[in-house]
Amino acid sequence: LIEQFPKYMALNLLKSRHGRSRGETMARRWLVRNIRVEQNHADYWLDWAEAVGVTRSQSLRAETNPEAAILSHWCWQVSASDTLEAGMLATNYAVEGITGEWAALVTQDDIYAYGFEARIRAKAVRWLKLHAEYDDTHPWEALEIVCTMVGVHPAQEIVDHLRQCIENTYIYKYLGIDQCLRQLQGAPDARVEAVAA
């Protein structure tokens, strides 16, 4: 999911056209700017995995379980074939929103960070720290752009569809996390599969 996230954003960018509407122009600028921000996150994720004992090779070779892969498939589908509004809400609002909240919770008191040796601490928690800060504003910016695109009084079917897209993201994220937690509890080398997911 993390490695593919800029790709979802690029798929949404393909739907936008500069100057067609104020909202689309906002979306286009925002997506272009944030694709650049997202490009390094896969490396930061791998750094974190290494800090907890999962090598880059293990992370890159690990097979993702179906429950964890379903969120990635959903993000790909909605970004490739649904509206720009739906794609941005399902990914940039919903995925990043809950990721940011979780990262902020994990990093709020530095207890987790101090579990790493001082020489690797900053690198180990960089992904978390960035998402705690970046994803604190990023989802709300995406929501504001989508609200600009749909207008003040969108049709009820548009509202219902967008709500369903957000709910799908939450459901699929839950299924993936639930399966990863089950793997961690059951298998001694499950950390590899959980990190890859």
Name the CA radius of gyration of the chain, rounded.
17
**Domains: count for the chain:** 1
| Tens-digit pLDDT profile for residues 96-146 | 999 989 999 999 999 999 999 999 999 999 999 999 887 678 899 999 999
DSSP labels, 26-77: HHHHHHHHHHHHHTTHHHHHHHHHHHTT--HHHHHHPPPPHHHHHHHHHHHH
CATH number of the domain within which 174 lies? 1.20.910.10
Give pLDDT tens digits for 22-51. 999 999 999 999 998 888 898 999 999 999
Residue 1's pLDDT is 85
What is the span of the domain harbouring residue 110? 5-196
